[in-house]
Structure 1
Amino acid sequence: MVSIAVPLLNMKLHRLPRHPPLSSLGNDFRSTTSQGVSELKLCGEEFVTKLLDRRWTLLNPNTTIHQIKLSTMLHGNGLLGNISFSSDTHPSLGHGTADNCNQDPSFYVVRDDLLHPLVNGNKARKLDGLLPLVEDHSVTDVVSCGGCQSAHAAAVAVSCAERGLKSHLLLRGERPEILTGYNLISTLYGNVKYVPRSLYAKREEMLTRHADLVAGNSGSVVWFNDLLETSFTTQTSGKPNLVQIDAHMNADSHPRKVAIINEGAADAVGLLGMIRLVQYLSQNHLFGKERTLKIVVDAGTGTTAVGLGLGALCLGLSWEVTGVMLADTVDGYRKKEKCLISDFKHCTAFHHIDHVLKGMDGGIVHWVERDHPRKFGNVKKGEVEACQQIAQQTGILVDPIYTLAAWELATLLSQEEAKGGAKVVMLHTGGTLGMFGLAQRYKSYFHAVKDGLLNFDYLDGVGFEQKTNLPLLGICELIHRQLGLKMG
């Protein structure tokens, strides 16, 4: 490995005002609280314990953690410059390991992309605390919405079908000629209806109207935040997971109870699964409670980032959560953050959170722009090849829309923090199925990957092993192209 002395990515980090870690707040802040930081931390831990004492969709919060190590290539090119990656699938974690690590840049990847073959990791986390509420309140149908290639819509469709529920999905735009990716999964598992963009713009009205139509004259409609609020008086723990709705509940003669999930599961109830994940990761044999972390996650609606930040806040962790903005402005994300926290506080009656938030005018998430901003959903030249390089070198697939943005930032931060700074952790939210939809839309970009990746490192002694699965003739052709020669 060759140490990287200078940053090799030109990530535009806008250092927006944000909160300091709870442990670094000064005496002035401590004196303004009625209980003191230690009591607030204890109160937060007790609150989290109570909050998480409920039924969950996932049998446990466990996830896989890999460590990505950076080195340099002599002749690198493309979006990632001359950076080469390697993956340690069994990294040393736990208390004290940070002091023993070498100083070469590296970051950890929380592999939530492995939680379910068809459901994105962050979607599985959002639905983790949500679906048991569906079962507890005898919901028969779920209505939600998303874009044509919505990972959220596919997650709702699959998860509902696994539990004997009917899902009704309103997708923005026109039906594609060929169904693929998340769109195909949504159609196979759920009931899809395409909605003109003009109507989709008024999401709440659109969802309410369709839910009323599904419920019929004898049915009822409820929003998920209302279910969360009542869950603190009706929810009990210890019941078996994945209980299917009785067959008679879905009979046409039985009144339907319809629950509405916001686009992207951007509800307060969607925060529960993220808080559960934070508690799991803060165990001593993993990242622990004392270590300083910089957590990076791509942000669509921003709910995942807010859930991580809220979990770290409640547990008193020195974890800085950074959300890479993909679909809105910083003002839009800050507004959404405040709305989610307000709804969470209202639903859970956790008013002690106000004492901590008084010292955090910048919010609980550090919002930053992507290296190469663009209209949401667009792919830029070189990004597909960057995803291919990462996949071939680490065995981890990222996508150009979401997780590549988080990978880029984690790469940059790991270089900045290499000399004894905070540990960098990327939450891999998934996105595998999205590649199929992108390949259909951006044919010219994906056409370039058919000949393999020019990353053979044959000049710096790394060799060819695990660099490609191409036949020998293809390797020779690519080597000659890279050397500027012609085949005889």
Structure 2
Amino acid sequence: MPTMTAATLVGRKGFCSAQLLNSSQAASNIKLSGEEFMSKLLDRRWTLQNPDTKIHQIIVSPVQRQNGVGSFANVSFFNNTEPYLGNKMIDENQGPSFYILRDDLLHPLVNGNKARKLDALFPLMEDYSVTDVVTCGGCQSAHTAAVAVSCAERGLKSHLLLRGEQPEILTGYNLISTMYGNVTYVPRSFYAHRKGMLQSHASLVAGHTGSIVHCNEIIEECFSIRTSERHLKKVIIVNEGASDAIAMLGIFRLVQYLSQDHLLGRKRTLNFIVDAGTGTTAIGLGLGALCLGLPWKVTAVMLADKIDAYREQESRLISDFKRQFHFTLDDHKLNEVDVGIVHWVDRCHERKFGNVLQGEIEACQQIAQQTGILVDPVYTLAAWEMATLLRSKNAEDDADVVMLHTGGTLGLFGLAQRYKSYFHKLKDRLPASE
């Protein structure tokens, strides 16, 4: 291959994405500002045609109900679908409010943070000529469904390892995963050892003549691939929830889009609220904001683990990001940080993950009826609760609250199947009308 300058590599989107940032020689010869680094990092092919998302404003109003039920018994919501954004604030006379990013509308089946985390990954798979994808998730995993649909749309085969037993009736994301992909149910004791489980299954898929690459290795593999290498199958392993540094690139793209002056801008102090499963989305938001020097805070509601595990995940992803993309920002505070870019918090009220309560389901019903927005009782409701809490009380700072809707609403079907009695009661206990 003839010698190429760093600028030449960056301009060749079809060659292999982000090669400038994976060339140690180029990295040692160039120092970039935050905006330059982000621009070059995002100069690639994407899965989503554009990074756009609809932005709504949710106005929170106190109400008095004699027989109020659910988490929001004393408040009501109004959805302003055309908020005035940019440098000016929305009229505060309307009452407390927060913004919501409608990423749940990105795709009928692949939406929310799942679509964002796959945004950069699938073009890289095409660069590497991947034929099969192996990943895992819970029985009602939105991640595995998103991978299955995305693979099928591109002629790839997906192999999905789902935790637990096959339900009596397939519904929700479980049904989507089964319709679009190849599902294998895995005993919980085996699933607990995810790394070995994924590697073992990938080996079965690859056979004797195939090759295997992990998601966090694909950039290096793509950069160093030799044309003489020929495999009948090229299998990629994607971690549970796509918790890899590459997955954060789609989140960075969203951050850059939102920072435009006619949207959220770069000067306003914002507090982003996101529900956290693996925590990858929250960490991507924090890293993206830090790279661009934005005055944005990220608050993540912990729903799948304890704070020590989330901080460990944060440290791992930041380290992987620096290693994979040869972080080259000159005199930038991200050079020193390895944790602390996300504010991890517990859910607003005490509960156990997966224990769906009647009040939470009724809260989802109230939000749907008053705003036309569907959230699920486990994940996105937790973010809505936190956003409402921050805007309903006198906050210590003047930050505007922005909730990222991470999708996942098809999970309601699986929950309704599992908790039939709770959903059956909805017809008898509708929230009081305003």
Q: Same fold (TM over 0.5)?
A: yes
- Give 1:377 shift: 2.0
Q: Among residues 316, 320, 332, which one is paired with 2:297 in the alignment?
A: 320
1:26-425, aligned counterparts within 5 Å? 43-75=33-65, 76-98=68-90, 100-102=91-93, 104-230=95-221, 255-352=232-329, 355-357=332-334, 363-416=340-393, 421-425=398-402
- Give 1:227 shift: 1.1
- Give 1:289 shift: 0.3
392-401 vs 420-429, greater mean Cα deviation: 420-429
In structure 2, distance between residues paired with 1:196 and 1:353: 48
Distance change in 2, residues 1:343/1:183 (3 Å): same
How many correspondences in the alignment? 398
- Secondary structure in structure 1 of the residue aligned to 2:58: strand
Tell me the amino acid that sits aligned with residue 43 of structure 1: S
In structure 1, distance between residues paired with 2:241 and 2:281: 10
In structure 1, distance between residues paired with 2:335 and 2:344: 19
In structure 1, distance between residues paired with 2:151 and 2:72: 39
**Which position in structure 2 is the counterpart of 1:431?**
408
Tell me the amino acid that sits aligned with residue 127 of structure 2: D
In structure 2, distance between residues paired with 1:227 and 1:417: 47
372-381 vs 168-177, greater mean Cα deviation: 372-381
Check the 8 A contact 1:308/1:321 in 2, yes or no. yes
In structure 2, distance between residues paired with 1:228 and 1:186: 27
Distance change in 2, residues 1:104/1:418 (3 Å): farther
Calculate the TM-score normalised by the size of structure 1.
Answer: 0.78
In structure 2, distance between residues paired with 1:361 and 1:124: 26
Distance change in 2, residues 1:208/1:445 (3 Å): same
In structure 2, distance between residues paired with 1:324 and 1:291: 22
**Which position in structure 1 is the counterpart of 2:3?**
none
- Secondary structure in structure 2 of the residue aligned to 1:148: coil
In structure 1, distance between residues paired with 2:330 and 2:381: 33
1:6-25, aligned counterparts within 5 Å? none
Distance change in 2, residues 1:279/1:232 (3 Å): farther
In structure 2, distance between residues paired with 1:82 and 1:131: 45
- Give 1:224 shift: 1.2
Structure 2 residue 431 is the aligned partner of structure 1 residue 454: yes
Check the 8 A contact 1:232/1:348 in 2, yes or no. no
- Give 1:378 shift: 2.0
- Give 1:374 shift: 3.2
Tell me the amino acid that sits aligned with residue 427 of structure 1: L
262-271 vs 357-366, greater mean Cα deviation: 357-366
Tell me the amino acid that sits aligned with residue 255 of structure 2: V
Distance change in 2, residues 1:136/1:327 (3 Å): same
Tell me the amino acid that sits aligned with residue 365 of structure 2: Q
In structure 2, distance between residues paired with 1:335 and 1:419: 28
- Secondary structure in structure 2 of the residue aligned to 1:97: coil
Distance change in 2, residues 1:366/1:229 (3 Å): farther
- Secondary structure in structure 2 of the residue aligned to 1:298: strand
Q: Which runs of 5+ in 2 are unaligned?
A: 1-30
Distance change in 2, residues 1:231/1:46 (3 Å): farther
In structure 1, distance between residues paired with 2:394 and 2:43: 36
In structure 2, distance between residues paired with 1:155 and 1:432: 13
In structure 2, distance between residues paired with 1:177 and 1:257: 34
In structure 2, distance between residues paired with 1:389 and 1:430: 18
Check the 8 A contact 1:299/1:402 in 2, yes or no. yes
- Give 1:103 shift: 6.3
Distance change in 2, residues 1:362/1:120 (3 Å): same
Tell me the amino acid that sits aligned with residue 40 of structure 2: K
Tell me the amino acid that sits aligned with residue 272 of structure 2: I
Tell me the amino acid that sits aligned with residue 131 of structure 2: T
Check the 8 A contact 2:259/2:266 in 1, yes or no. yes
In structure 1, distance between residues paired with 2:89 and 2:417: 45
Check the 8 A contact 1:103/1:418 in 2, yes or no. no
- Secondary structure in structure 1 of the residue aligned to 2:351: coil
In structure 2, distance between residues paired with 1:233 and 1:66: 44
Check the 8 A contact 2:115/2:146 in 1, yes or no. yes
Distance change in 2, residues 1:354/1:397 (3 Å): farther
Distance change in 2, residues 1:380/1:69 (3 Å): same
Tell me the amino acid that sits aligned with residue 67 of structure 1: Q
In structure 2, distance between residues paired with 1:231 and 1:426: 35
In structure 2, distance between residues paired with 1:268 and 1:295: 20
- Secondary structure in structure 2 of the residue aligned to 1:259: strand
- Give 1:450 shift: 2.0
Calculate the TM-score normalised by the size of structure 2.
Answer: 0.88
